[in-house]
Amino acid sequence: MAGCNGNKEGDTTTGTTGTSTTGTTPSTTAARPLPTSEGNKQTGDTIKIGLVASQNGELRPWGEDSIKGAQLAVTEINDAGGINGKKVELLIADSASKPEQGKSAAEKLIADGSIGLLGEVASGITLQMANSAFDKGVPVLAIGATRTDVTEKGNVFRVCYTDDFQGPVMAKFAYEDLGLRKVGLMTDKAQPYSTGLSDSFRKKFTELGGEIVGEEFYESKQTQFQGQLTNLKGKNPDGLFMSGYFTEVGAIARQANEAGLKVKMLGGDGWDSTELQTTGGDAILGGYFCNHYNNDEQRPEVQEFLKRWDAKNGGKPGTTMGALAYDAAMLMMDGLKRASAMDSKSLITALDDTVDFKGVSGMITLKGMGGSPKKRALVVEVTATGQKFAKAFEPADLEKKTP
């Protein structure tokens, strides 16, 4: 679906921070089903884009940073003159950390005239948003939804890496850098994100020569995990991969420590919250997880972003979702600048044709990628003072053979 986006091949459009170039390579996203509805068109004095975020519920830390990041991006674009002389209006609706409410929130934002939607972070919520938006012909640009099937439909894109990358990254780090050989899995069977991440970790870890000694399951909002942890302890793992969200991981780590299962703990970007240290205490310290971004990176894009964030919001983003939401909002507005018309259908085409958009979290190319950019991943260590950078992985690093 590499259709016309209003620019000649090779033209470049520059926003406040990001630059996206119309590419010349053929797109492969035509295999994804495309909406038949026309979507929304810009009317009135503003250009409306919507944001679905967890303003309430257990995922609120991600929602709060998503809102701050998107608002910062919109403010910068509007201060620079807007898009085609019109200001951007950011409409926000609450998913309350629930998939069904995320769907309702998306439908409300579409009914209110949003040309495109930003969000969500949780894959289960984003999948519900995507279904509603597909029926209405409106594009969705996911902030942190990493499950691979989120972008199966042609109106859905993301600015983050996927679980089929971060799972193998953590498997490679566990096997090669930490020297782990026998790992147990703790999987939240109620979260599509968690089940997919555990599967991708398992596949790569066993491919490298490691052994998954067992997998135990729980469900979101569960508080007691002694039975599962006792089962895993009996299998003598030297590592524990917990693929769920920070909302349960801290308690799991604490109870594992109390049960005598004192092994290296690993996870994915679902760990990313300051609440992890609060709930996990000393038991989670020294654990490692995969993330998209780190406040301590010295890349100019990061340091300049942090200055602007501090000026508007004070301090630094509490989670990586602040930076990813900023990138998502900037990319959507960059797509609107490149679109042949100010409507949802043209925006889908422009997003799909994105090449080398320079985001805070890294370079983003969507052209020919089926909605999912190839992004590098960071492994960070949980410390008493926050996240400590451990190692970066590029997509090509996973192709290297273990020594």
pLDDT at 131: 93
Q: What are residue 271's phi and psi, to 5 degrees?
A: -80, -15
Q: Report how far apart, in Å, the C-alpha atoms of 50 and of each of 166, 298, 358 are.
A: 28, 32, 22
pLDDT at 322: 98
Calpha distance 146→217 (Å, rounded): 20
* Domain ranges across the chain: 12-161+297-372, 163-291+379-399
Which single residue is written with the structure tokens 């984003």?
126
pLDDT at 293: 93
pLDDT at 27: 36
pLDDT at 401: 65
Calpha distance 280→330 (Å, rounded): 35
Comparing 12-161+297-372 with 163-291+379-399, is the CATH topology the same? yes
Q: Return the closest-CA partner of residue 110 out of 40, 36, 37.
A: 40
Which single residue is written with the structure tokens 């250009």?
47
Calpha distance 330→332 (Å, rounded): 6
Q: Other CB atoms closer than 10 Å to residue 8's CB: what's the count?
A: 8
Q: Where are the beta strands (DSSP E) in 11-105?
A: 12-14, 19-22, 46-53, 87-94
Q: Which residues pair with 91 in a beta bridge?
A: 50
Which single residue is written with the structure tokens 């674009």?
77
User: Angle at Cα 24 formed by Cα 19 and Cα 28, nearest 5°?
Assistant: 100
Query: Tens-of-pLDDT digits for all 403 residues of the chain?
Result: 223 333 322 333 333 346 554 433 333 334 899 999 999 999 999 999 999 999 999 999 999 999 999 999 999 999 999 999 999 999 999 999 999 999 999 999 999 999 999 999 999 999 999 999 999 999 999 999 999 999 999 999 999 999 999 999 999 999 999 999 999 999 999 998 999 999 999 999 999 999 999 999 999 999 999 999 999 999 999 999 999 999 999 999 999 999 999 999 999 999 999 999 999 999 999 999 999 999 988 899 999 999 999 999 999 999 999 999 999 999 999 999 999 999 999 999 999 999 999 999 999 999 999 999 999 999 999 999 999 999 999 999 987 765 5
Domain 12-161+297-372 has CATH 3.20.20.210: no
pLDDT at 402: 58
pLDDT at 31: 84
The alpha carbon of residue 172 and the mean position of all alpha carbons in its chain are separated, in whole angstroms, by: 21
- Whether 206 contacts 185, CB under 8 Å: no
Prediction pTM value = 0.88
pLDDT at 18: 60
Q: DSSP letter string over 189-224?
A: TT-HHHHHHHHHHHHHHHHHT-EEEEEEEE-TT---
- What is the torsional sign of CA 353, 356, 362, 367? positive
Q: Which amino acid is at 282?
A: D
Q: Report how far apart, in Å, the C-alpha atoms of 185 and of each of 67, 214, 273 are.
A: 33, 6, 21
Instruction: Write down the CATH number for the domain with range 163-291+379-399.
Output: 3.40.50.2300
Which single residue is written with the structure tokens 């469900």?
219
The tokens for 51 are 């944001």
The tokens for 55 are 């303003």
pLDDT at 220: 94
